[in-house]
């Protein structure tokens, strides 16, 4: 099928098989390798991207479903000038990453949550629930929660 993916504001005209998942198309056809594939079953969250501003598991979504919908990946999180996004600065300040494999998924999940509800930072229990939706084997989650709260406060 011929589709056009709009990823981070750039159009990618593609010819894809209808059964291909978004994560594979982003990585292989668009050369956007920041979206990581972990479990490929929608459990770990490493492949989280934003579609229409909502966090989705790109390993479960077909690329053809995204034709005509804006997609944001971790590559587009920083500004066009390379200035890090507040979440990226907060993750660094709070040491919310170690191996880094899960980090793109956490960043995109948090970016979607903050975009849709900027007041989430006022509710630590909601941030904790949000963080539990993705898996990390290294950090113990507390630094990730602190980073999201820091970014929500604009620090």
CATH code of the domain covering residue 95: 1.10.150.120
If one counts the domains in the chain, the total is 2
Across the chain, the runs of DSSP E, i.e. the strands, are: 2-7, 10-15, 48-51, 54-57, 70-72
Strands 70-72 and 2-7: parallel
The CA distance from 14 to 5, in Å, is 8
The helix or strand, by DSSP H or E, that contains position 104, with its residue range, turns out to be helix 103-116
- The model's pTM: 0.94
Asked whether residue 81 is assigned to any structural domain, the reply reads no
The CA distance from 103 to 122, in Å, is 22
**Whole-angstrom Cα Rg for the chain:** 15
Taking each helix axis from N to C end, the angle separating 124-131 and 103-116, rounded to the nearest 10 degrees, works out to 140
User: What is the structure's pLDDT at 27?
Assistant: 98
94 and 149 together in one domain: yes
- Write out the chain's pLDDT in tens, 155 residues: 999 999 999 999 999 999 999 999 999 999 999 999 999 999 999 999 999 999 999 999 999 999 999 999 999 999 889 999 999 999 999 999 989 999 999 999 999 999 999 999 899 999 999 999 999 988 889 999 999 999 999 88
The first and second tokens of residue 49, run together, are 């991207």
Strands 10-15 and 54-57: unpaired
Closest to 48 (Cα-Cα) out of 89, 87, 84, 95: 87
The first and second tokens of residue 134, run together, are 């993705």
CATH number of the domain bearing residue 72:
3.10.20.30
94 and 66 together in one domain: no
CB 68 within 8 A of CB 4: yes
The CA distance from 116 to 118, in Å, is 6
The CA distance from 45 to 134, in Å, is 5
38 and 95 together in one domain: no
User: What is the structure's pLDDT at 140?
Assistant: 81
């Amino acid at each position: 099928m011929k589709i056009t993916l709009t990823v981070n504001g750039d159009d990618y005209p593609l010819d894809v098989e209808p059964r291909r998942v978004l994560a594979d198309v982003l990585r292989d056809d668009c050369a956007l390798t920041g979206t990581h594939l972990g479990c490929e079953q929608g459990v770990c969250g490493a492949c989280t991207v934003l579609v229409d501003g909502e966090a989705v598991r790109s390993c479960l979504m077909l690329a053809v479903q995204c034709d005509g919908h804006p997609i944001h990946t971790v590559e587009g999180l920083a500004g066009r000038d390379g200035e890090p996004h507040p979440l990226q600065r907060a993750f660094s300040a709070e040491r919310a990453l170690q191996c880094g494999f899960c980090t793109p998924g956490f960043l995109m999940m948090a970016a979607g949550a903050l975009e849709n509800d900027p007041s989430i930072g006022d509710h630590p229990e909601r941030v904790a629930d949000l963080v539990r939706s993705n898996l990390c084997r290294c950090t113990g989650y507390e630094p990730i929660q602190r980073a999201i709260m820091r970014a929500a406060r604009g620090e």
